[in-house]
Structure formats: structure tokens, C-alpha cells
Chain A
Amino acid sequence: MKEHLKESVKIISGNSVAAWAARYARVQVISAYPITPQTTIVEKLSDFVDSEGWDCQYMRVESEHSVMAFLIGASFAGTRTFSATSGQGLFYMNEMLHWAAPSRLPIVLTVANRGVAPGWNIWADHQDVIASRDTGWLILFASSHQDIFDTIIQAYRIAEDPRVYLPIMVCLEGFQLSHTIEPVYFPDQSLVDEFLLDLPKNGWPHTFLDPNRPITFGSLQIPGGKVATPSSMYFEFRASIEKAMLNARTVIKEAAQDFKKIFGRDTGDLIQKYKCDDAEAVIVCAGNMARQAIAAVDKLRSEGLNVGAVKLRSYKPFPIQEFQELANNGVKGFGVLERNMAFSLNGGAASVDLKSAFYDMEPSPYVVPFIGGVGGRDITMDDQCNILKRVLNVIKNKERNVKVEYINFHGRFE
């Protein structure tokens, strides 16, 4: 007897939202390993299974590497899977992240982002997800508690689309989103059932473990050269991940549109824009800093400045066309505020990717890199206002070769 969750409003932590989203999505297999700040996700899930009788296979494994290996096995056997990790755990499972994407398994992993050790840091930091950016996984950022629910539900829709079949990481900030509490609206189960794709009855169509259809998966792929042979298609199979990721652009947009139709909420697709139509300078953030940026934009707008905010929702696939469109519509400067350091590249990872998205544009917009909030350090609305003012200055003075600025950094970085 399938359970049917009713519509409700819960005043709830971000981690609990993630657990509820997995339940709404009718996840079939979960593997769990604790790590701050995602621990309460797997704890809540174990409550659902043990204490509330939720029909889901829940396995407590002995390391994060095993978490992902376990989900790869379970997904390969044809089930909907879910797990959660953070920081060090994401690094430990890195080998298996690289295994999941070429295996084309639609796994959803919630990452409560935290800082890199040594120097134990359990607070909001995006270095962990940045270190996983070329694994072939799709990467989506949630910026509020409601957004966590919406993004995880959409993630299943995107990952299981036959044009995609790639695993997805849904990121939420450690402690700032995972442990804070807000009211969140939960829909009736029937809407989620309508929105999500039906699970194929006999395992995934493209990859399966079925004694009636014996296959060997993952054997050697030799290099090859100028002549194509079936056993030397490594390059081509890797390129098919790229193809799927480009398809994901369309699928993410479709999923967001359908979501709005069914649930009535606009989550944005690859990006979400706030007052960008007549903006001259725009602040680009991922995660909850994007939500705070709305207040910064409103404050500066009330002072007469034409500014806007862009929530970077999808990091992979990177919204190249969406940002180019903003630049073509009149946005002259983009201040990118990030919680990560892409070493030696004069900024964080998204600022570098944004510059490369604008490289061939004439004139090329101004990209002003900012790094802040690293290791959970506070970034205030006023900091974001200052960032926008700085970007406006850069535009006014036509500054090029702008050096990255560290926000709330104690000392001078030469």
C-alpha cells in the first residue's frame, strides 16, 4: 500500500526538508553515513524507515566511499536512490562520483557543503562541490529551505529523463541552510507523483543487471587511433556524457516550467534572475547568498541604482547562454561572489567560468571576482551592497584586469 503524504506547512530545518523530499520522491534505496552538517538528513530518514514504517531500503554503510558504491549498485539494479554527504565525505567518495556518471545512473546526492580540512571547518563553504565539478555530475544549488524541496524533486525529474541519465548533486549550505529553521510548504503527494517520471518496470532501459539478459559492463576500452573500432570508443563514450549534460540544459528548463505549472512556484531553471531587466550591474551568487542578495538589490534600488541579482542555480551545466543573454540585454558588469577558491585563477571557479562564457563577446562584459563566506564566514547584506557598488565603479571607470577581492578578510592580500 503506497503511502500518500498530505499537503502541509512544516516549520523545519533544511536537512529535514531534504529528508522529506526524498520521501515524497518515493526513493527506494538509501545508503547512509554520518558527517556534519548533513547527519540529521540520514537521521531523519532512519526515523522515517524505522519509526514511521516508510517502505524504503535503508542501509547504514561504513564509509562515504561505500555510500556511493552502494548507490551505484542499487541504481544499476534499477531503483531510485538517494544519499547525503558533506565536505570530507564528498572527497572520500570522489572516485565513485567519477564512476557513477559514465555509468549513466540517475542518482541524487544531497551535499551539505562544508569546508576542507585540515583546519576542521563544518560551516558553509563550496570548495567541496567545486572539487567535484568535472566528475560528469549535474550540480544544482538550493538557496532556501523551500528551494531544497523543490530542487530535490526536480533533480529526480531531470536525472531520470532518457535524454540525460546522469547523476545530480543538490547543494545546500552547511548550517546556514541545513540547521536553520523556516516554514516550508509541502504539497500533496499526488502532485509529486504527477511531476516525476514513472520508474521503468524492468530496470533502466539503457543499463541493467538481469540474469535473463546477461551483459558485461565497464570492460576495457583501448585508446584507438585514426580507425574506429567498437573496443576503442573511450573518447566517444566520454563525449556522450558531455552530450547528455548539454541535453540537460533543455531538460532543466522543461522541469522548471512543469514544476511551475503543477506546484505554482518559479524556481528558476539554470539561473534565477531578480530585477535584471534594466540592471547595469548584477551580483551572481550560488546558495543562500543569492537569497540575501535580493535584499541588497532592493536596498540599492531604493537609492536609485540599477542593480540586479542572479542566482546561479545550475553550476553544471554552466549557464553560458543565459549569462550571454543577460549581457546582450544590457547588463554591463557581473560581480561574482563565491564561497570557494579556484587557486591561481584570480577568483573563484564560477568567476573563471563566467569570464570564459563572455570571452568571445564584443564588448566583453566586466566580471568582477569576489571571494567571501569561506568556511562559513559571515557575509552581510551590506557586504553585498558594497559589492554591487564596486561593480558599478568598475563599469564607470572601465577597469580591466580587476583583481579578486576577499570579503571580510582580516589583513591585506597582496
Chain B
Amino acid sequence: MGGLNKMSFKKIAKEAPKEYFLPGNSACAGCGLELSLRWALKALGQKTIMVAPASCTNVIVGLYPKGAPAIPFTNMAFAAGCSSASGIRTGLQARGINDVTVVCWSGDGGAFDIGLQSASGAAERNDDILYICYDNEAYMNTGTQRSGGTPYGAWTTTTPEGKRQHKKDLAGIFASHNIPYVATASVGYPIDLYNKVKKAKNIKGFKFIHIFAPCPPGWRFETENMIKVAKNAVASGIWVLFEIEHGKKTLSAPSEKYRDKSKRIPLKEYLQLQGRFSKMTDKEINELQRWIDNYWEHLEKELACFG
């Protein structure tokens, strides 16, 4: 896993220069989703069909008669992401077309909550689609309401005093469906993201990638800090980069570095850059830390199983 990520920015600029999400679109300045989509599309290439259920993605693609994606892209109803992607895959199979990647590109609202049924169904059937969830940790398109992916203590318009529940373990949910590939990624590490999407593209069956995508307006921070926030999440241990291939879990290089708790940055350093955590009390921060420690404890036990 180390070797894949040794690619330098220079090298990858030569390997994947083409832009598939064209500039001048309606994404916010500094949008984490846009950066993740830009890199995912570089990895996927031209022979891709993308379905995007209701999310910010639907409104960042610009207005008719122009569209930002340089691949066939369709909007879809909120709960229908994975089922329509499965339908597209089946339709292509019926027509004998087998060299196109079908991707369902969903936000956290669509993946954690309303779209979970259709995704679980598609995963159980092992339909040959790539399900990517970019996680900006709230329903951002409608103005920052809490979702199942919002972390504990975060401010949203529907949790003005901070969310009381912890974040769902979505990667764990999909891993339990025994699908061939599950991975987490972050826009702070675009090469890692690129490699994971590339790997998933070449696997048959249901693949799931969960991308950490900070949102400057929703998380309340300056646009220029977007990459810092993404990297701090990994550095504090709150976001872990890993892959699960046929049930075997391995940490990705950036998170391997932070396995040692002493190497991590304090959780407060991650939280203080973001206005959505500004009202958190010390007690709440400790609770969030406890959740993170608990997660790593289980993670270590899991990793030990696989040697």
C-alpha cells in the first residue's frame, strides 16, 4: 500500500492531465466535493456513466444548456441512487456493453440516510457498480442540516446546540455486506483517492468508497484552509484511511503514520479551525475523543486479525 502513494504530484500531472469536471461551474469556491469529484473522474476516465442522487452535486454541475461533467451524468431522485445505477448497469449488459464504469455519486445525506435501502439492496446483490459517498457531514445543499454522517457535537441548523449522536460507521455497514472492496479516502490526500478509485474501477461487483470532503460554508472555515482541515482530520485520528479487500482490512499510508497516538495532533487542533465546533464544551470534546479512541481500539483488534 505504501508504493501506490509514492506517486508525486508531478508524475500524476503527467499521467492524468485531463479535466473531466470543467471549470466555471456552480460549486462554491474551495469546495471539497468538487476536488473529490475532479480526482475521482481523473481515475475513472471517459468510459464512465455517473448517477448523482439529490445532493450538492446536482447543483454544482451548472445550468442547461451547459453541464460541467465531461462524462454522461444524470441527476436522480434522493433515495434512488444505487437502484438507478444498478438499472443502468443492467441495461448496458442487456445491450452487450461491458466496458463502461457505472458510478453512483452520492452525498452523505443520500448514503447514510435516505439512500441506504437502495444501496444495501445493490450491495447484497453485488451489482457491478461503484458507489462513492463524498461526506461533507450534513445536508449541505439544503443549508446544513444534520445527517447520519454529522459528527458528535457539530453545529447544524437542525442541531443548533450540537449533534447528540455519534456518526454512523458507513464503511462498516457496507463491509458487512461482504462486497469485494470498501475504502475510505480524503480530499486531503488526492493521490490516495485517485489510486483507490482506479483500483475499484477494475473490480467486478459492488464497491464502496467513502470520501472525506470538507465544506467551507457548512463547517464554517475560510476556503483557503480546506486542505488543512482535511489533513488535520486524518492527523487527529477522527478520519481513518483504509481499504477492505474481500474482508481484509489494511490501513492506508497516511493513517498508518497516525496509528501511534503520540504522533497524532490533539483533537482540539482539528476542531478549532471549524466554526461548527466552536460551541463544544470540554466534556463534549472528551466524549468525541472517547469515541475516536474506541474506534481505534476496535480497529487495532481488527488489524491484528489480519496480521
Q: Taking the complex as formed, is B121 at the interface, i.e. its CB lies under 8 A from any CB of chain A?
A: yes
Contacting pair B86 A70 (CB below 8 A) = yes
CB atoms of A28 and B62 under 8 A apart? no
A95 to B81, CA, bound (A): 13
Judge whether B84 and A73 touch: CB under 8 Å: yes
Is the CB–CB distance between A231 and B88 below 8 Å? no
Q: How far is the CA of A220 from the CA of B92 in the complex (A)?
A: 27
Q: Specify which chain B residues have a CB less than 8 angstroms from the CB of A70 in the assembled complex.
A: 83-84, 86-87, 90
Taking a contact as CB atoms closer than 8 A, the residue among A67, A99, A221 that contacts B64 in the complex is A221
A357 to B9, CA, bound (A): 69
Q: Does A65 contact B (CB under 8 A)?
A: yes
Q: Verify A59–B86 contact, CB threshold 8 A.
A: yes
Q: Does A66 contact B (CB under 8 A)?
A: yes
Within 8 Å CB of B127, what residues of A? 59
Give residues 31-84 of A contacting B (CB, 8 Å).
Answer: 31, 56-57, 59-63, 65-79, 81
**Per-residue CB proximity of B39-69 to A under 8 Å, as 1/0?**
0000000111101000000110111110111
B117 CB-CB contact with A under 8 Å: yes
Question: With contacts defined as CB atoms under 8 Å apart, how many contacts are there between chain A and chain B in the complex?
Answer: 165
* Given A77-B95, A221-B64, A69 and B75 contact (CB-CB distance below 8 Å): no
Smallest CB-CB separation from B62: which chain A residue? A219
Say whether A213 faces chain B, with CB atoms less than 8 Å apart: yes
Alpha-carbon distance between A65 and B86 when the two chains are bound, in angstroms: 13
In the complex the two chains form, is A209's CB within 8 Å of B94's CB?
no
Q: How many residues of B contact A (CB 8 A)?
A: 46
A56, A61, A75, A208 interface centre (most CB from chain B within 10 Å)? A61
Q: In the bound complex, do residue B87 and residue A214 qualify as a contact, i.e. CB atoms below 8 Å apart?
A: no
Instruction: Give every chain A residue within 8 A of B46 (Cβ-Cβ).
Output: 211
Question: CB distance B72 to A79 under 8 Å?
Answer: no
Which residue from chain B places its CB closest to the CB of A218 in the assembled complex? B75
B87 touches A216 (CB 8 A): no
Is B72 within 8 A of A211, CB to CB?
A: yes
Interface pair A214/B118, CB less than 8 Å apart? no
Shortest C-beta distance, A79 to chain B (Å), equals 4
Q: B64 to chain A: which residues have CB within 8 Å?
A: 216, 219-221, 230-231, 233
Distance to closest chain B CB from A156 (angstroms): 15
Which B-chain residue is minimally distant from A202 (CB atoms)? B95
Among A209, A218, A231, A233, contact of B49 (Cβ-Cβ < 8 Å): A209
Give the chain A neighbours of B79 by CB distance below 8 A: 65, 69, 95
* A79 contacts B76, C-beta separation under 8 Å: no
The B-contacting residues of A in range 189-238, CB under 8 angstroms, are 203, 208-211, 213-222, 230-231, 233
Q: Is the CB of B80 within 8 A of A219?
A: no
Q: Is the CB of A72 within 8 A of B80?
A: yes
Type the 1/0 row for B90-101, where 1 means its CB is closer than 8 Å to any CB of A: 111111000010
B293 to chain A, nearest CB (A): 36
B93 neighbours in A (Cβ, 8 Å): 57
Shortest Cβ distance from B47 into A: residue: A211
Whether a CB of chain A sits under 8 angstroms from the CB of B178 is no
Tell me whether A29 is interfacial, beta carbon within 8 Å.
yes
A96 within 8 Å of B (CB atoms)? yes
Q: How far is the CB of A26 from chain B (nearest CB, A)?
A: 11
Residues from chain B with a CB closer than 8 A to the CB of A63 are 117-118, 121
B31: Cβ under 8 A from any A Cβ: no
Pairwise interchain contact A219-B118, C-beta atoms closer than 8 A: no
**Complex Cα spacing A62 to B61, Å:** 30
Are A75 and B91 within 8 A (Cβ)?
A: yes
28 contacts across the A-B interface (CB closer than 8 A): A56-B94, A59-B87, A59-B127, A61-B86, A62-B118, A62-B120, A66-B80, A67-B83, A69-B80, A71-B87, A73-B90, A76-B74, A77-B91, A99-B77, A99-B80, A209-B49, A211-B48, A211-B71, A214-B70, A215-B72, A216-B61, A216-B64, A216-B67, A218-B76, A219-B58, A219-B62, A221-B64, A231-B65
Q: Footprint of B on A, CB under 8 Å?
A: 28-29, 31, 56-57, 59-63, 65-79, 81, 95-96, 99, 203, 208-211, 213-222, 230-231, 233
